[in-house]
Structure 1
Amino acid sequence: MNENFEDRDEVLDTVRRFERMVAHNEPVFFDLADFENIIDHYTSNTLYDKALQACEAAIAQYPFSTELLIDRSQVLAMKGEYIAAAQQIEDVAQLDPDNPDVAVTRGIIATQKGQFSEAVAFFQQAVERAPDRDDIYFNLGLAYQSWQKFKSAAKYYKQSLRLNPDNDIAVQELLYCLEVSERLEKNLDFFRHFTDQDPYSALAWYNLGQAYYRAGKYDEAVVAFEYAILIDAKFYDAHGFLASTYVSQLKYREGIEEFKLSYAEGEPTAEALCNIGECHEKLAEWDQARRNYQRAIDLEPDMDEAWFGIGIVLNAQERWFEAIHFFRKAVSLYEESVEYWLALAAAEYQVGNVVSAIEAYERASQVAPDSKDAWLNWSIILYEQGNFEGAIDLMRNAVEIQPGEAELHYRLCAYLLAAGRYREAYQYLENALVLDFDKHRLLFEFFPELESQRALTRLIEQYRK
């Protein structure tokens, strides 16, 4: 494991040196392996423009390297420049037709274009020529995954990991495919096999821990991560995952201690500080929570989770005016979070900003039309303002979008009763009772006076199982 960190540091040093030379317009000179590492670093971080720049610099120095021409073709494909990518790889095929990377690159281009069956055929050709290369099986996995064929994808990711257990991206993609196809439980043995084979591999224990964690087997995950850390005390990602496992078990104190070990001493990451802040928040330790969130923002000003965290802390202290500022910032950094919009809307309403609250609920319902809370909370404002028709229309819309959500039917029934439209109200009440009888209590929580209405209670009794 430590070797990996050393290799990674060496690669980062090389990348920095390359960037300095480019920035200062100095002549760039590296050996071929260094260029390969630089290009690989950029592509694995999806920095395709920089990867292409590195390819051009490398080809200027090594114009006859087929590896670099292949790299260039693959980077062009990832940038979506398919014609240039195809042209480049055909040029290489003229020079070296039996090179398995020609078939691999054709497969990558086809995958990027969404031509999945062609991609698979190309990768299978490559496997015939180079049966021991883990990257080819990995690309087969990616093609099947993009094709939404998760079972086949998992099969090839496994084959890739048998050849190279150190490929963390393959582990993540395999776990995702097994989760989506609901086959993670059945495949835990696959991860156990690596720890059986090499009980002193920190990485094998770490990967097993992740599998247990994703399967919700937190006690087993804790043991696996502890083994990884026992073998390599500076395995920071294992500390981070162990901390997250403790959080899932609601053990926030233990979580805080592990998050503090998830980075090199004196070099906290914004993510770790944000997680520590959240643990303190769950323990209602507001000052420590806010302090850690603020330190995360100091390190990474665009960290929306930390801005949101401070908003939550202020909200819990009923400091709504201040909370609004932080929720607005979180929303400006990440507009796709329904959670952020709902928190902002509630805080705006608390201070009497009705129009702003309604706007925020409207945005929440656009971002996540299937969020019942967005519709319910928005409709309450309209109802409390005496706008019964507005509240009814809103709930009709919500019921149309989520016809299986009993709570929406009950609320629509309540608003119709308030507007004196009994026949319609009973129609929605019947729907709600069929969907979830027990939730009829919500009706009386919302309108306690309804319990005295005989016709209503008679109708409810008919549906009692």
Structure 2
Amino acid sequence: MCFPLIALLAGQMSSRDPSLSSALAEMNKGRILQSIAQFKQIIRSEPANGPAYFYLSTLYTEMKELDVAERYLRRAMEANPNQGAHYYQLGLIRYRQKQWRAALGFFKQALELGVGNNEAVVWRSIGDVQAELFDRDAALEAYDTSLRLRPQEATTRLALGHFHLERSEPEIAIQHLRAALEIDPSLRSAYPVLGRAYRQTGDLSAAVEILKKAVDADPADQESRYALGQALLAMRRIDEGRAELETYQRIRQQVTNANENYKTGLTRLERGQLSEAEKFLREAVHLAPTYGPALHALGTLLLDRGSSEKAAEVLRRAVDANPLNAASWFSLGTAYFKSGKHTEALDAAQWAIVLKDDDPQYQRLLDEVRARIRR
């Protein structure tokens, strides 16, 4: 897991701060839980440490915990007023909330205050907002400004590729999308867009080639698989095209069935029909073994029904699927505690509190586990 927007404040952080450097190192390794824990330890020791609050805001924004993200950001702004990076982050939160005009205002304010060498990132975000506001000329101007400031930015090239493809300008889109993949071949979201662009120009062979790369790299990429099937059919490669579309349809149906079983399971659970709920939730996780919400619901149900060891097995899968879900860590800690696995319960309860330190039931569980260990 990578959060590139963290770079916005990097230039303002003192390299002599070993605690921040350690937390950032954990984050850059993809160890998000560990980095959150370290940032929170910093603010407990230094309540006025603005950068630590800022990084926490960025992390919680990516986790879609937008209220928590804004709360941390406000503390960062109190500690270090008038920082352009803070207003950019506030703009991102408003963007995620679909408050386009508010987001645009904060992005512009960020530029006025200064964001160092990250102006290109802000301009790209301005382009995204203007596109949402259907001001195509302003969006293109913003994207072009971003690209001029940082020509080797793959995400800006991808944004321009999307933009020109929507304007039925596939040739221009292809130039940007190919450049994006040359810069960053791992940018998977560019492959289906480039495939669509090639199809619009009638270059079906190129479309098939790029879409096959996308599907080979990520067999779960349904958008690319569907486009590949359509391109193969257009080339009269009927058997191949049908095979891809059949696979697409099979996966789509499996996902649909998993969602339906999950929703039905929750409905049965609300009605108190526990056996029926368990049946539907088990079917959901059978169809989608890494479906985090279904795993969490099934594990919690098993826990409530007294099957703590079975619950722990399912909830362990839930936190593996979504390690940033505090509720799953709490339920896992409870399952371990009831199974007599106190060391494991302690770890799980601590991770729950790292992610959500204002929930009293999480703290109660931690206190109970610690008390049992001390006996």
TM-score (norm 1): 0.45
Alignment partners' CA distance in 1, 2:134 and 2:156? 16
Aligned to 1:230: 78
Query: Post-superposition shift, 1:359?
Result: 2.0
Q: How big is each residue's C-alpha offset from its partner over 1:367-418, in whole Å with a ceiling of 9 and x where there is no partner?
A: 323312222211122234443212234457x57xx985536999xxxxxxxx
1:372 aligns with 2:222: yes
Aligned to 1:343: 193
1:291 aligns with 2:126: no
Query: Post-superposition shift, 1:362?
Result: 1.9
Distance 1:225 1:298, change over 3 A: same
Alignment partners' CA distance in 2, 1:394 and 1:175? 34
Distance 1:270 1:349, change over 3 A: same
Q: 1:305 aligns with which of 121, 138, 155?
A: 155
Aligned to 2:177: 327
Q: Is the 8 A contact 2:26 2:32 kept in 1?
A: no
Structure 1 residues 86-97: aligned runs within 5 Å: none
Aligned to 2:253: 406
Give the gaps of 5 or more residues in structure 1: 9-36, 38-133, 136-163, 411-433, 437-465
Aligned to 2:49: 201
Aligned to 2:103: 255
Aligned to 2:33: 178
Alignment partners' CA distance in 2, 1:228 and 1:389? 58
Q: How big is each residue's C-alpha offset from its partner over 1:188-232, in whole Å with a ceiling of 9 and x where there is no partner?
A: xx7556546544332343244235334422012112212312331
Aligned to 2:122: 272
Alignment partners' CA distance in 2, 1:408 and 1:197? 46
Q: Is the 8 A contact 1:256 1:279 kept in 2?
A: yes
Aligned to 1:217: 65
Alignment partners' CA distance in 2, 1:307 and 1:175? 25
Query: Post-superposition shift, 1:358?
Result: 1.7
Aligned to 2:131: 281
Q: Is the 8 A contact 1:191 1:211 kept in 2?
A: no
Give the gaps of 5 or more residues in structure 2: 1-8, 258-285, 289-375
Distance 1:409 1:358, change over 3 A: farther
Query: Post-superposition shift, 1:171?
Result: 6.2
Q: Is the 8 A contact 1:348 1:354 kept in 2?
A: yes
Q: Is the 8 A contact 2:255 2:287 kept in 1?
A: no
Alignment partners' CA distance in 2, 1:171 and 1:236? 25
TM-score (norm 2): 0.55
Segment drifting more, 164-173 vs 244-253: 164-173
Alignment partners' CA distance in 1, 2:164 and 2:13? 42
The secondary structure found in structure 1 opposite 2:33 is helix
Distance 1:228 1:383, change over 3 A: same
1:391 aligns with 2:241: yes
Q: 1:169 aligns with which of 24, 41, 46?
A: 24
Q: How big is each residue's C-alpha offset from its partner over 1:410-435, in whole Å with a ceiling of 9 and x where there is no partner?
A: 9xxxxxxxxxxxxxxxxxxxxxxx95
Alignment partners' CA distance in 2, 1:328 and 1:275? 21
Q: How big is each residue's C-alpha offset from its partner over 1:261-305, in whole Å with a ceiling of 9 and x where there is no partner?
A: 445549662222122222222332211111111111111211122
Aligned to 2:166: 316
Q: How big is each residue's C-alpha offset from its partner over 1:223-269, in whole Å with a ceiling of 9 and x where there is no partner?
A: 22123123312434333332222222222323233333445549662
What amino acid does structure 2 have at the position aligned with 1:251? Q
The secondary structure found in structure 1 opposite 2:189 is helix
Q: Is the 8 A contact 1:365 1:375 kept in 2?
A: yes
Structure 1 residues 3-18: aligned runs within 5 Å: 5=12
Query: Post-superposition shift, 1:346?
Result: 0.6
Alignment partners' CA distance in 2, 1:201 and 1:242? 18
Aligned to 1:240: 88
Alignment partners' CA distance in 2, 1:6 and 1:370? 39
Q: 1:355 aligns with which of 198, 205, 209?
A: 205
Distance 1:214 1:296, change over 3 A: closer
Alignment partners' CA distance in 2, 1:211 and 1:387? 46
Alignment partners' CA distance in 2, 1:326 and 1:174? 30
Query: Post-superposition shift, 1:308?
Result: 1.9
Query: Post-superposition shift, 1:326?
Result: 2.2
Q: Is the 8 A contact 2:157 2:176 kept in 1?
A: yes
The secondary structure found in structure 2 opposite 1:257 is helix
What amino acid does structure 2 have at the position aligned with 1:310? L
Distance 1:391 1:165, change over 3 A: closer
Q: Is the 8 A contact 2:124 2:143 kept in 1?
A: yes
Aligned to 1:31: none
- Percent identity of the aligned residues? 16
Distance 1:290 1:202, change over 3 A: same
The secondary structure found in structure 2 opposite 1:227 is helix
